[in-house]
Structure 1
Amino acid sequence: MPTPEQTHWVILAGGQASRMGGNDKGLVTLAGQAMIEHVIGILKPQTNNITINANRNQETYQQYAPVFGDHIQNYPGPLGGMHAALHHIDSEWIGFVPCDCPQLPYDLVDRMSRACDETTDIAVAHDGDHIQPVVTLVNRRILPKLEQFLADGDRKIILLYRQCNMITVDFSDQPNAFVNLNTPEELEKFGQAL
């Protein structure tokens, strides 16, 4: 199984953010900070290996961590970021989190890493009710399956996972850790509750 130090974590900020009025979700302000700063603030104590996947505002993101864009055009979603990461990063185990989850678990890296063994292709966080398909730790051996999946025109992330040896990692003790903010209204309501 990987140790936390053997994992590399990617913050996915490469989407179009159409529900956020087209504003780059990682850079919208929440409680006086860019949303990505909240995510980095949670990840940094857990890992030294953080990179950002972004297709817009790359210079702005560079101030937080190294940045790379998708290799596939037209915003193929989280799978596009995963595909690019597997080409860009050499680590055997690469973790992914979305840029719009400002209160991820403080033990995410450790718990996800410990759940894996040598047969695991993908570990996915589970909040007790649902899997969180974009909070995941993958082994780089999934790359050929991912490339075929994308070549076939598929984009539904869970369909890819079903082709792999997927496990779920229980975070039911922290069900609110995966709140994601997709619209200006959700952002404002969440900010008021902080």
Structure 2
Amino acid sequence: MAFISLSAAVLAGGKAERMSGHDKGLLLFQHTPMAQWVAQALLATAGYVFINANRNIDDYAELGFHVIKDDPEYQDKGPLSGLVACLTYAQTSHLMIAPCDTPRISSAAFATLKEASRAFPDDIVFLKSASGSHPLHAILPVAPALLALRRFLQEESRCRVMAFYETIGSRSVFWECDAELLNVNTPSELV
């Protein structure tokens, strides 16, 4: 499969249980919603960015991006619920994804992913750093990944992102700036 075009999605559909139910993507990090930081970093690499969210749709839309919800058929599958919605919506050959709770991520990290995806367009490529794998910072080939993900969700009871990646082929790309990949999971990390 050729790398022809790239869109990007901010994954903001989680339940935010560690944040007392507050919608993480809308929480302010340095006076700006976290989802906005991530979307801006994605825009430098992908021509079109949208947001996957299941609550506060109007608030996310005010950030200036189209918002899509999870498909009811695939709800409650963790991040894979959002991923199937994003792959279904994408109109490009490849889709870049990033979680809304990594506001320190840079456009350089996404440029590195894009370069790797161009070199290996049939594979899912994701970031890895000194702290481990970061499978939600990734680029996926849309058509084959969507087909495989729907099959995976029908057959598997455990909906782990890396387990899905292993079924269709993936490769990691090392990113040296580990601090950029910090997930903000508690209010104290919002500073």
Q: Is TM-score (shorter-chain normalized) higher than 0.5?
A: yes
Q: 1:94 maps to what in 2?
A: 95
CA distance in 2, matches of 1:139, 1:44: 18
Relative to 1, partners in 2 of residues 1:31 and 1:160: Cα closer, same or farther, differing over 3 Å? Answer: same
1:109-158 deviation digits (Å, cap 9, x = unpaired): 32112112355320011113411011010012121221121112331111
Unaligned stretches of 5+ residues in structure 1: none
Q: 1:27 maps to what in 2?
A: 26
* Deviation at residue 2 of structure 1 after TM alignment: 2.9
1:13-33 deviation digits (Å, cap 9, x = unpaired): 000001010000001122212
CA distance in 2, matches of 1:164, 1:155: 15
CA distance in 1, matches of 2:42, 2:116: 18
CA RMSD between the two structures: 1.7
Q: Is the 8 A contact 1:16 1:75 kept in 2?
A: no
Q: 1:56 maps to what in 2?
A: 55
Q: 1:115 maps to what in 2?
A: 116
Question: Could you tell me which of 138, 158, 165 is aligned with 2:162?
Answer: 158
Unaligned stretches of 5+ residues in structure 2: none
Q: 2:135 maps to what in 1?
A: 133
Structure 2 residue matching 1:107: 3-state secondary structure: helix
Write the letter of the residue equivalent to 1:81: G
CA distance in 2, matches of 1:156, 1:36: 23
Q: Is the 8 A contact 2:3 2:121 kept in 1?
A: no
CA distance in 2, matches of 1:46, 1:90: 16
Q: Greater shift after overlay, 14-23 or 84-93? A: 84-93
Write the letter of the residue equivalent to 1:165: G
Q: Is the 8 A contact 2:121 2:141 kept in 1?
A: no
TM-score normalised according to structure 1 size: 0.88
1:78-113 deviation digits (Å, cap 9, x = unpaired): 111110111111211001000000111321332112
Q: Is the 8 A contact 2:96 2:139 kept in 1?
A: yes
CA distance in 2, matches of 1:171, 1:96: 16
Q: Greater shift after overlay, 63-72 or 19-28? A: 63-72
1:157-192 deviation digits (Å, cap 9, x = unpaired): 1111111221111212x11110110122332xxx0x
Structure 1 residue matching 2:10: 3-state secondary structure: strand
Q: Greater shift after overlay, 72-81 or 13-22? A: 72-81
Structure 1 residue matching 2:59: 3-state secondary structure: helix
Relative to 1, partners in 2 of residues 1:164 and 1:41: Cα closer, same or farther, differing over 3 Å? Answer: same
Structure 2 residue matching 1:160: 3-state secondary structure: helix
Write the letter of the residue equivalent to 1:77: G
2:174 paired with 1:175: no
